[in-house]
Every structure is written in structure tokens, then in C-alpha cells.
Copies of this chain bind each other. A is one copy, B any other.
Amino acid sequence: MTKRYKITIAYDGTNFAGFQSQPHQRTVQSVLERAVNKMSKKDEFIPIFGSGRTDSGVHALGQVVHFDFPHEMSADSMLKALNSMLPLDCVVVDCEIVPDDFHARFTTHGKRYMYRVSQSYFVDPFKRNYTGHYKYPVNLEKIKAALPDVIGTHDFTSFCASGSNVKSHVRTIYDATVRRDEVQNELIFEFAGSGFLYNQVRIMVATLLEIGRGKRPVHDFLRLYEVKDRNEARETAPASGLYLKEVYYD
């Protein structure tokens, strides 16, 4: 009777120590596991598998997790039951019962991230946890001219935070866009790709902002792919502006 549930969740990352469970920390995984296991029997523990981690302060609009639930429950009932138990900074937006070979992490073939940059001179108190902040004027055309360099398969070593120990730094970006939201006075970046290295989006955004400000040449990404040196990209945009928007499956 055990069935696999795929749930799509949104969360405000401000008060979470990231996605992944850690001792003595409030994480998204731990609040989800607590909610799911309130509906299980005492001698069973139902683990939650996420599509991947998000850092402390990073948000999600469409993070995906799965778990195996051994009691009969419709997808709609599961959605409502979880939302009645989850804290208000994490909500289930979709729930479906999926085949047993679905795996939130191992069957994904890509992700989409959004990054919001507030351009106000002083930090807007209502955006301090929900955007990055860059008060300097940027030339949007320069950033748009740089974005084709981001798309494609590249060695992103210069854009990978130290401390990461993945084997390969080669990733493929399918889509990279930027637009200006005049009403909100924000720049909105989006990146879709096969996978992303640790802090890759935040380092790419910081580099693109420097290109827009004229502190780097427009095609500096091409040089950074060559030098494979994290110190050359330097800045990392803050976690507060980053949103995991979508996780792709077949």
C-alpha cells in the first residue's frame, strides 16, 4: 500500500538554516519530516528526499521532494494534511502520487533559479530578506550582451564556491535572462540548467552586475571560463535574492 508522493513546496528561507537537516538547526527538511512523520506510526520513520540543497536564507517557489508513505491517502488529502501541520513559512503547492522509480534528486534533469536585485539607493526594509541589493546604476544592455556567454556547456570552476568537492565543474546552462521591473526598481535574473555548482548562481549574478556597472568587460565570462580561478570572480551576491523556481523531470 506504500506509495511515493512527489510534493512541490514554496518556502521563505529567511528563518531556515537551509534545506538539509542538521543537528540543532531549523531546516526545511526537518520541518517536512516532522509533519510527514506525525502521520506515521511510532516505530516507522519516513525520510524525505529533496531535489537538492538550498543555503540558509535562500528561498524556493518550486522545490521538489519525495517520500514513501505506507498508509492510504489521496494526493489532495496529503496536501491539505501537510499544510495544516507545516509552519507558515513553508507551504505545499502541489502533491501527486508518482511511480516508484521517481526520485526527487536522481531523476531531475535540470533546475531554474531566479535572482532578484533591488536597485534602490537605501535598502528597502520590506525587501531586505527577499532581494539582493545593488545601488549602483547598471547598463542593462551590457548584461544582456554578456548572457549568451553564460548559455551552453562550460567549465564553471571560477563560479564555484571553495569548499565544494564535486568531481566536475562542467555544467550546461540552457537559458539565462534578465529584465528590469520598473515598478519594483529591480533586476530579475533567471537561469535554467542541467545542474548548478555551489553558489554558482550567486557568483554569476555578482559578476554580471559588475559587467553592467562597467567594472568588467562585457565578455569577461569567456576569460573566467579559461582561468578556472574562483578568486577572479570575487563577489557572491547574497542568499536573500535567490529563489529555486522550478525543478525539471520528464
Contact = CB atoms under 8 A, between A and B. Distances in A.
A146 B52 CA distance: 50
Contact of A91 (B11, B89, B92, B122): B122
A90 B123 CA distance: 9
A59 interface: yes
A88 B130 contact: no
Contact of A125 (B10, B122, B123, B126): B10
A91 B124 contact: yes
A125 B89 contact: yes
Contacts of A124: 10, 91
Contacts of A177: none
Interface string A109-153: 000000000000011111010100000000000000000000000
Contacts of A89: 125, 128
A75 to B, nearest CB: 15
Interface of A: 10-12, 59, 83, 88-92, 122-126, 128, 130
